[in-house]
Amino acid sequence: MKSLKKKLADDMLVLRGVNQPTTVIDVKGCPIGGESVMVVAGPCAIENEDLLKETAFKVRGSGAVALRGGAFKPRTSPYSFQGLGEDGLRILARIGEEMNMPVVTEIMDSEDIDLVSRYADILQVGARNMQNFSLLKKLGKIDKPVILKRGLAATIEEWLSAAEYILAGGNGKVILCERGVRTSETWTRNTLDLSAVALVKELSHLPVMVDPSHATGVRSLVTPMARAAVAAGADGIMVEVHPHPERALSDGDQSLTPKGFSQLMKDIDPIARALGRRIY
């Protein structure tokens, strides 16, 4: 442990102390970081109320505990669907309340923190914003859980240092999320670094999630990588699910159908149990 920490300052808040357990973050009665593995599921983007309601109903029925959906979408092309904005946030919050599910959505701009915080239970910092230090500092001042995704080519040190910005501001409710890094491989969208899950759990007391959807970009690979993530010790899984992936406005190729998601839940349950954990 000591040799692994040599690149990081000893007094960093993000580091795990001797015999310190993983921090458990409670989200509306749903803990992450403890015995249970939290599963977050939903479409990449909130397209309309009916679609989100259908998705929420089906993923909830299969065992997902939290609902995800993007209202502000960072897209490579400025001409791609950018999300519904505040209308999307209203839809997400309303359906989350109806389904009794905490909701997760991405925060892209520090000016939107107050707006997004009014609707979301967990704020997600995407890979492109991992080192948006102005945003991270302001997220350190709020009392909301934050999912911090690893950057496209970020090292472990850079990822943990980004989390430190939030912790140093006074917000200890940080959840790290491995979502794959960019490599020379072209068969997948990114390369899922599962060694990072085990390493970061050794270095840090913060809970660690895995996003196998963005990590692979390939629907058929999502479930195998979710199984591997749970086996590696992930505290949570974030999965994109869409009732009609072929018609999705974003990330359809990596979105599971509700049937596929149900099978994923069945697959990861025995793995969690073998490790003395359980799926919600």
Is pLDDT at 1 greater than 60 in this prediction? no
Read off the pLDDT band of 177 (50, 70, 90): very high
Q: What is the pLDDT of residue 126?
A: 96
Mean pLDDT of 211-219: 98
- Convert the pLDDT of each residue in 14-29 to its tens digit: 999 999 999 999 999 9
- Convert the pLDDT of each residue in 82-98 to its tens digit: 678 999 999 999 999 99
Q: Which fold has domain 39-279?
A: TIM Barrel (3.20.20)
Q: What is the pLDDT of residue 280?
A: 78
The count of other CB atoms within 10 Å of the CB of residue 241 is 28
Q: What is the pLDDT of residue 88?
A: 95
Is pLDDT at 250 greater than 80 in this prediction? yes
Mean pLDDT of 27-45: 96
Q: How far apart are CA 217 and CA 201, in angstroms?
A: 25
Contact 261, 41 (CB under 8 A): yes
Is pLDDT at 133 greater than 80 in this prediction? yes
Identify the CA nearest to 65 among candidates 44, 91, 38. Answer: 38
Give the chain's largest Cα–Cα span.
52
Is pLDDT at 74 greater than 90 in this prediction? no
The mean predicted confidence, pLDDT, of the chain is: 94
Strands 208-210 and 174-178: parallel
Q: Percent of the chain beyond pLDDT 90?
A: 90
Mean pLDDT of 34-41: 96
Which tops the pLDDT comparison, 40 or 80?
Answer: 40
Read off the pLDDT band of 78 (50, 70, 90): confident
